[in-house]
Chain A
C-alpha cells in the first residue's frame, strides 16, 4: 500500500544505488575492458596470455614520471617471463608527451588516451594508478601513487606471483 513513508524509503534507496552506480567501473576478479576498444594513439603490444600492468600517467604528474625508471627496469627484467607493461598517458596535448617519450625512451609500450575516454571509463582514483591483470585479463590488483622503491618492490612481488600462476 502506498504511503509517504514507503515513498521516502524508495527515494532514499534510489539515491544510494545511484551513487554506487556512478562510482563502480572496474571490479576485482572481473575481466578488464579490452584496450583496443578505446581508440588509443600508438600501437599496443601483443599482450594476450601475459601478465599485464596498465599504468595511467601524465607528463604533468611528477610521481608518474618518477616511476618510469623503475618500470623500465621491471619491463626489461620480467618481459621474458611473460610480463607486459603498457603505460597509458592521459595527456590531451601531444607535444609534451612526444617530448618526454623521446627524451626518456622507456623500455615499455606507451600509448596516449588523447580524448581521455579510457581513463574516464576506468576512473582511476589518483595519478598515477596502475592495474595489474593476470594471464586471463582479469583484474587482480589496483595500486595508486608511487612512493619510491618500497612501492616498486611490493608491485614486483605481486607481478611475479601472477607470472608463476598457471
Chain B
C-alpha cells in the first residue's frame, strides 16, 4: 500500500479528534458555572482543627516548624 493512500484517512481522523478542542465547553468550567467551586466547603482551610493537624504532620515530617506560615524560613537562620 502506498503511503499517500494513508494520508487522507490519517488527516480525517486527526481532524475528528482535534475538533473537540475547538469547543471550550468540553474542557473548561465557564466563569458563570463556578458557584460550587466558590463554595466555602471547597476551601482547603475550612476546618481549623484539620488545618492544625496537617501543619503538625507537615513540620514533624519535614522538620521545618513554622516553615510554612511564619516569616522567615524553617531553618531557624532568620
Contacts and interface: CB of A to CB of B under 8 A. Distances in A.
Chain A partners chain B: yes
A4 B38 contact: no
A127 B32 contact: yes
Nearest to B40: A60
Interface size on B, as a range, is 20 to 34
Interface in A94-135: 116, 119-120, 123-127, 129
B32 A90 contact: yes
Given A18-B19, A18-B22, A4 B11 contact: yes
Given A11-B11, A22-B24, A92 B35 contact: yes
Contacts of A92: 35
B19 A127 contact: no
A58 interface: yes
Interface residues of A, number: 26
A34 to B, nearest CB: 20
Contacts of B23: 22
A125 B18 contact: no
B24 A124 contact: no
Interface of A: 4, 7-8, 11, 14-15, 18-19, 22-23, 56, 58, 60-61, 90-92, 116, 119-120, 123-127, 129
17 contacts: A4-B7, A4-B11, A8-B7, A14-B15, A15-B18, A15-B19, A18-B22, A19-B22, A22-B22, A23-B24, A56-B32, A58-B32, A58-B35, A60-B38, A91-B35, A125-B31, A127-B31
